[in-house]
A and B are shown apart, each in its own frame.
Chain A
Amino acid sequence: AQKVTQAQTEISVVEKEDVTLDCVYETRDTTYYLFWYKQPPSGELVFLIRRNSFDEQNEISGRYSWNFQKSTSSFNFTITASQVVDSAVYFCALRPSGTYKYIFGTGTRLKVLA
């Protein structure tokens, strides 16, 4: 079975706090791709990051960082010093190689309070 689990339905933090969004995936494929997307209130999903299964390097982009661990099938996303503009729904997605679709998690709604 191929599945993405985002166990945190909603998280509220106060501005400037750090927050980690969890993503656990299941796949039997050895080659696959993982993504994070942000969905602001306007509705469109905005691409944040892509990782392939052979690249376990963590990545940092400004206040955003991602921790990919194949041993635990996790691809967690951390926002450092959160800001109100970070308020959105965040989706984690899996794309097994050779398939035509993404498998999305149910999303985590992040509310950053001023």
Chain B
Amino acid sequence: DGGITQSPKYLFRKEGQNVTLSCEQNLNHDAMYWYRQDPGQGLRLIYYSQIVNDFQKGDIAEGYSVSREKKESFPLTVTSAQKNPTAFYLCASSITRTGANYGYTFGSGTRLTVV
């Protein structure tokens, strides 16, 4: 079955460390997105990518970086510059950017905790 796989499900980071969250999709979707979810808040866009080797900043990109070397993969790195990284991170995809008019497919998320 096609879908989005996020790993790990839970991740613990020490202060000052960089960590990378994995997102893989086998839906043949061109566009991929990273959202951050905090308690009591809606989802906020971190980065998005319309095609391979291209990505744009979303609303809260500071302290994060991404790459899109393969269509299937869109990893997110949370750097030490991100001052408050504890959150639930969701990866999503759509057929194309305009295909997002028809809805996203979401992964099951990674819960990141700073210890």
- Seen from chain A, the residues whose Cβ lies within 8 Å of a Cβ on chain B are 4, 9, 33, 35, 37, 42-47, 50, 52, 91, 95, 97, 100-107
Asked whether A9 lies within 8 Å of B105 as measured between CB atoms, the reply is no
> Please, how many residues of chain B have a CB less than 8 angstroms from a CB on the other chain?
27
Q: Which of B66-115 contact A (CB under 8 A)?
A: 88, 90, 92, 97, 100-109, 111
- Seen from chain B, the residues whose Cβ lies within 8 Å of a Cβ on chain A are 33, 40-45, 48, 50, 56, 58-59, 88, 90, 92, 97, 100-109, 111
Task: From A50, A100, A104, give the contact of B48 (CB < 8 A).
Answer: A100
Asked whether B101 lies within 8 Å of A97 as measured between CB atoms, the reply is yes
Residue of A with least CB distance to B45: A101
Docked pose: A45 CA to B45 CA in angstroms: 15
- Distance of B99 from chain A, by nearest CB (Å): 11
Asked whether A106 lies within 8 Å of B109 as measured between CB atoms, the reply is no
Cβ of A106: which chain B residues have Cβ within 8 Å of it? Answer: 40-42
Asked whether A47 lies within 8 Å of B105 as measured between CB atoms, the reply is yes
Task: From B40, B44, B56, B109, give the contact of A9 (CB < 8 A).
Answer: B40
- Decide yes or no: A91 and B42 within 8 Å by CB, A43-B88, A101-B58, A102-B100 being known contacts: yes
Docked pose: A107 CA to B88 CA in angstroms: 14
Cβ of A33: which chain B residues have Cβ within 8 Å of it? Answer: 101
Docked pose: A33 CA to B100 CA in angstroms: 10
- Decide yes or no: A44 and B106 within 8 Å by CB, A101-B45, A104-B43, A106-B42 being known contacts: yes
